[in-house]
């Protein structure tokens, strides 16, 4: 049976851990509010950009030159690039684990193709480096402050590889932010670009030829898809960490209660034992 000193030491250790998890939960909650605002602000822009692309695509539907854009070229997926967005830190529940398992499952489903990885985040980089995966590049510390220029550079790299026919498709694998307690593992194909189908609701008069506008908008659309995925992942990570730290704080409180009850029982047993010894000694003295 452990001594009272050992139990008190353990209770003090759990209380210190509880203070840390509680502080981490508050920090993640503050960061989540800002990240959530950025995600919500980016969604209308992405939806409007897709709508504009759909209108332009309808306008150039019969233009053969527009179909020759290298970002629209469809090829058999013999070489695939997966942009995996994980976190730089742990203590976020199953956030990173689900992403890594999703990337492994994606690779297993395309056993006949060559799968290359562009890794964003320290956790994904460390995992796949140790397993000898084909890595085209890695980027860390981008989720702390998501900057459009940094994400656009990664998108430009993927587009250059696609134009040079080094790869036949580009997928982004990330956690999409749904709510504080829900994140959805999402796999999105960004190249070749899938133009929205349907006819333009209005007969627009374009100042520039629609084919030129399409060629200018396609790279911006791909960059926006990368940027939006990064924003979604950052918000989902903060939400997952906040939920995990809240659960850890609650578990620490339960453990403190159990240890306190156990300590009281040990102390009571110790007192009872001392009383019995005193009574027994007095009885022996008589």
Residue 83 has pLDDT above 90, yes or no: yes
pTM for this prediction: 0.82
User: What does the pLDDT look like over 228-243, one tens digit per residue?
Assistant: 999 989 888 888 888 8
Q: 206 and 280, same structural domain?
A: no
Summarize the confidence of residues 1-20 as an average pLDDT.
84
Separation of alpha carbons 35 and 149, rounded Å: 17
Q: What is the number of structural domains in the chain? A: 2
User: What does the pLDDT look like over 94-149, one tens digit per residue?
Assistant: 889 999 999 999 888 888 888 899 999 899 898 998 888 888 888 988 888 888 88
Torsions phi, psi of 138, nearest 5? Answer: -140, 150
Q: 35 and 88, same structural domain?
A: yes
User: Alpha-carbon torsion 70, 71, 73, 74, what sign?
Assistant: positive
Residue 199 has pLDDT above 60, yes or no: no
What pLDDT score does 99 carry? 92
CATH number of domain containing 13: 1.10.287.80
Residue 172 has pLDDT above 90, yes or no: yes
Q: Please count the CA atoms within 13 angstroms of the CA of 225 that sit on its side-chain side.
A: 25
CATH number of domain containing 210: 3.40.1380.10
Higher pLDDT, 63 or 56: 56
What pLDDT score does 82 carry? 92
Q: 147 and 119, same structural domain?
A: yes
> Residue 200 has what DSSP assignment?
-
The DSSP result for 127-194, as a single string, is HHHTTT--EEEEE-S-SSS--HHHHHHHHHHHHHHHHTTS-SEEEEEEEEEEETTEEEEEEEEEES--
Q: 67 and 204, same structural domain?
A: yes
The structure tokens listed for 82 are: 């997966």
Q: 210 and 100, same structural domain?
A: yes
The DSSP result for 49-109, as a single string, is HHHHHHHHHHHTTT-TTGGG-GGG-----SEEEEEEE--SS--STTHHHHHHHHHHHHHHH
Number of residues that make up the chain: 286
Whole domain around residue 74: which residue ranges? Answer: 30-243
Q: 17 and 47, same structural domain?
A: no
The structure tokens listed for 49 are: 């950009």
What pLDDT score does 145 carry? 84
CA distances from 35 to 144, 153, 232 (A): 10, 21, 8
**138: left (phi > 0), else alpha (psi -120 to 50), else beta?**
beta
For the beta carbon of residue 279, count every other beta carbon within 10 angstroms: 10
SS3 assignment, position 195:
coil
Q: 129 and 70, same structural domain?
A: yes
Burial of residue 146, with CB atoms counted within 10 A of its CB: 0-12 exposed, 13-18 middle, 19 or more buried: middle
């Amino acid at each position: 049976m452990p001594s009272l000193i050992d139990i008190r030491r353990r209770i003090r250790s759990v209380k210190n851990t509880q203070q840390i998890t509680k502080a981490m939960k508050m920090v993640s909650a503050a960061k989540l509010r800002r990240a959530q605002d950025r995600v919500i602000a980016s969604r209308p822009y992405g939806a409007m950009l897709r709508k504009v692309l759909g209108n332009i695509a309808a306008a150039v539907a019969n233009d053969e030159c527009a179909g020759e854009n290298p970002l629209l070229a469809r090829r058999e997926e013999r070489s695939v690039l997966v942009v995996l967005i994980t976190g730089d830190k742990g203590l976020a529940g199953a956030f990173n684990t689900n992403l890594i398992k999703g990337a492994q499952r994606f690779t297993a489903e395309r056993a006949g193709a060559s799968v290359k990885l562009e890794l964003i985040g320290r956790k994904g980089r460390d995992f796949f480096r140790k397993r000898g995966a084909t890595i085209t590049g890695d980027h860390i510390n981008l989720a702390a402050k998501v900057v459009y220029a940094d994400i656009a550079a990664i998108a430009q790299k993927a587009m250059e590889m696609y134009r040079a026919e080094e790869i036949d498709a580009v997928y982004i694998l990330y956690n999409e932010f749904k709510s504080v307690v829900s994140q959805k593992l999402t796999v999105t194909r960004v190249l070749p670009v899938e133009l929205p189908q349907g006819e333009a609701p209005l007969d627009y008069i374009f100042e520039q030829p629609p084919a030129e506008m399409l060629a200018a908008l396609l790279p911006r659309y791909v960059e926006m898809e990368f940027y939006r995925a990064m924003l979604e992942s950052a918000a989902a990570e903060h939400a997952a960490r906040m939920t995990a730290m809240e659960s850890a704080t609650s578990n620490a409180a339960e453990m403190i209660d159990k240890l306190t009850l156990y300590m009281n029982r040990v102390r009571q047993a110790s007192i009872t034992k001392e009383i019995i010894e005193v009574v027994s000694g007095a009885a022996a003295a008589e």
